[in-house]
């Protein structure tokens, strides 16, 4: 079967091998625990599900406006205004099929062939392929575990060329959980703006930041430089709504129009009744989010109390999201010389599925998700320790 050269240049996901192996072992009757998950283990709040059910019963099942339900766009604008002191209105927002489609629409709308996009590494798996699909060049800038997985302005400046068009930021980060401080974000934003770059700030984990750390949003920079900054967010992580596919963007009106063209020619509106549920989520108060955040924080502390004692492993304390990204490369040996081999070994020997750091642009590390209950987390980390350290 002949497929396009676009497809040929895309690398297959490095997570697939571990997933395939996990399925194979499960089929053989082995007990496998997954710490590879990228979604909260909580149910979507009742009042959100009820709003969606009501919409269905009311027959709210037709095509809708491409950039989203006006009511939901207003709720999104209110969210930014309330959380980050912006003065956004519905026209500055757009509803997408998850944060993922927001990122895809943005890159398709902003990038010309050959444009370079700076991506701090470790990065979320989909950033480089999405840049390539927009015919841009991903330029990774590496931050080590010792640097807290955060890049500096000097590093970014060293990566900048005449072709650099966009900087993609993700704080708190998947896979590292690193969250940039206000000072760090401001310094990076100032640098990017002064060099006429466009900043895409993926803030999908903005509600999952653990005190005393605070989320430093780029939203105030959007307010000042709406033609150079946009914010991506969504309900998947903060409201445990991964399957609903509700993402949203805060951007300049012209960019919203450009993205609507892409969405209008590809997927059209996001599921009508799911958007009604999303209105309920954003309008219903944040108590459920507070409860989930408190629970994730406890799990983070539990996981750190175990991993922090592992010899020859460097794991900065994550300030947000629900991942740990220990640097384990000092443990590599003939049996597991890289992150993929170590994950395969741990899957076979400990029965625990993890994601190799190579998938996120850092082969020194492995990603551990703590979106599981405390007992499962503790047991599986102890199983890993027994295999690695005896």
Ligand X SMILES: Cc1ncc(COP(=O)(O)O)c(C=O)c1O
Query: Alpha-carbon distance 192 to 198, whole Å?
Result: 7
Binds ligand X by CB under 6 A, chosen from 64, 67, 68, 98: 98
Closest C-alpha to 123, from 293, 349, 362: 362
Angle at 180 between CA 179 and CA 186, to 5 degrees: 155
Closest C-alpha to 215, from 168, 173, 278: 173
Distant-in-sequence, close-in-space partners of 127: CB < 8 Å, separation ≥ 6 = 103, 117, 119, 138, 168, 170
User: Quick check: 234 binds ligand X (CB under 6 A)?
Assistant: yes
User: Quick check: 263 binds ligand X (CB under 6 A)?
Assistant: no
Binds ligand X by CB under 6 A, chosen from 19, 78, 152, 242: 242
Binds ligand X by CB under 6 A, chosen from 202, 206, 327, 362: 202
Binds ligand X by CB under 6 A, chosen from 15, 22, 32, 38: 38
User: Quick check: 15 binds ligand X (CB under 6 A)?
Assistant: no
Q: Which is nearer to ligand X, 203 or 363 (CB)?
A: 203
Q: Which is nearer to ligand X, 38 or 361 (CB)?
A: 38
Query: Alpha-carbon distance 213 to 348, whole Å?
Result: 37
When CB distances to ligand X are compared, the closest residue is 98
Kindly report the backbone phi and psi dihedral angles of residue 378, in degrees, each rounded to the nearest multiple of 5, phi listed first.
-65, -45
* DSSP3 helix / strand / coil % (the chain, rounded to 5): 45, 15, 40
User: Quick check: 124 binds ligand X (CB under 6 A)?
Assistant: yes
User: Quick check: 363 binds ligand X (CB under 6 A)?
Assistant: no
Query: Alpha-carbon distance 262 to 110, whole Å?
Result: 11
Binds ligand X by CB under 6 A, chosen from 67, 75, 80, 100: 100
CB of residue 105 vs ligand X: minimum separation in angstroms?
A: 12
Closest C-alpha to 368, from 336, 319, 321, 335: 321
User: Quick check: 184 binds ligand X (CB under 6 A)?
Assistant: no
CB of residue 385 vs ligand X: minimum separation in angstroms?
A: 26
Binds ligand X by CB under 6 A, chosen from 108, 174, 176, 217: 174
Binds ligand X by CB under 6 A, chosen from 40, 67, 99, 318: 99
Pick the stretch among 93-101, 139-147, 154-162, 375-383 that binds ligand X (CB under 6 A). 93-101
User: Quick check: 172 binds ligand X (CB under 6 A)?
Assistant: no
Distant-in-sequence, close-in-space partners of 266: CB < 8 Å, separation ≥ 6 = none
Pick the stretch among 8-16, 98-106, 151-159, 348-356 that binds ligand X (CB under 6 A). 98-106
Query: Alpha-carbon distance 322 to 319, whole Å?
Result: 9
User: Quick check: 156 binds ligand X (CB under 6 A)?
Assistant: no
- Count residues contacting ligand X (CB under 6 A)? 13
CB of residue 241 vs ligand X: minimum separation in angstroms?
A: 8
Q: Is 237 exposed, middle or buried (0-12, 13-18, 19+ CB in 10 A)?
A: buried
Q: Which uninterrupted H or E stretch holds 366?
A: strand 366-369
* Positions in the binding site for ligand X (CB under 6 A): 38, 98-100, 124, 170, 174, 202, 204, 234, 236, 242, 247
């Amino acid at each position: 079967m002949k497929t396009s050269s676009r497809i040929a240049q895309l690398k297959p996901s490095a997570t697939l091998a571990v997933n395939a192996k996990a399925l194979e072992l499960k089929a053989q009757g082995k007990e496998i625990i997954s710490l590879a998950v990228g979604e909260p283990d909580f149910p979507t709040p009742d009042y959100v599900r009820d709003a969606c059910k009501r919409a269905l019963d009311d027959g709210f099942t037709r095509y809708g406006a491409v950039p989203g339900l006006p009511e939901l766009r207003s709720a999104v604008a209110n969210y930014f205004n309330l959380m980050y002191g912006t003065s956004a209105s519905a026209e500055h927002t757009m509803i997408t099929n998850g944060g993922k489609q927001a990122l895809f629409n943005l890159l398709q709308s902003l990038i010309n062939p050959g444009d370079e996009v700076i991506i701090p590494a470790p990065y979320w798996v989909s950033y480089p392929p999405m840049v390539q699909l927009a015919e841009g060049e991903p330029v990774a800038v590496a931050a080590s575990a010792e640097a807290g997985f955060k890049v500096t302005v000097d590093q970014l400046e060293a990566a900048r060329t005449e072709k650099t068009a966009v900087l993609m930021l993700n704080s708190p980060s998947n896979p590292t959980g690193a969250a940039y401080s206000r000072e760090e974000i401001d310094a990076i934003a100032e640098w990017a703006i002064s060099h006429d770059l466009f900043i895409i700030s993926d803030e999908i984990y903005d509600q999952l930041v653990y005190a005393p750390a605070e989320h430093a949003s780029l939203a105030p920079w959007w307010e000042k430089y709406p033609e150079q900054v946009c914010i991506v967010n969504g309900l998947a992580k903060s409201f445990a709504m991964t399957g609903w596919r509700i993402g949203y963007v805060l951007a300049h009106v012209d960019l919203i129009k450009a993205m609507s063209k892409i969405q209008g020619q590809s997927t059209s509106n996001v599921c009508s009744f799911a958007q009604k549920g999303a209105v309920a989520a954003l309008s219903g108060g944040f108590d459920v989010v507070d409860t989930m955040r408190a629970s994730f924080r406890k799990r983070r502390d539990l996981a750190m109390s175990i991993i922090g004692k592992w010899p020859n492993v460097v794991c900065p304390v994550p300030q947000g999201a629900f991942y740990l990204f220990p640097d384990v490369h000092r443990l590599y040996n003939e049996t597991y010389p890289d992150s993929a081999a170590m994950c395969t070994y741990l899957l076979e020997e400990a029965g625990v599925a993890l994601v190799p750091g190579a998938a996120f642009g850092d082969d020194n590390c492995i990603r551990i998700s703590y979106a599981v209950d405390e007992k499962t987390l503790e047991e599986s980390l102890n199983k890993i320790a027994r295999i690695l350290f005896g």
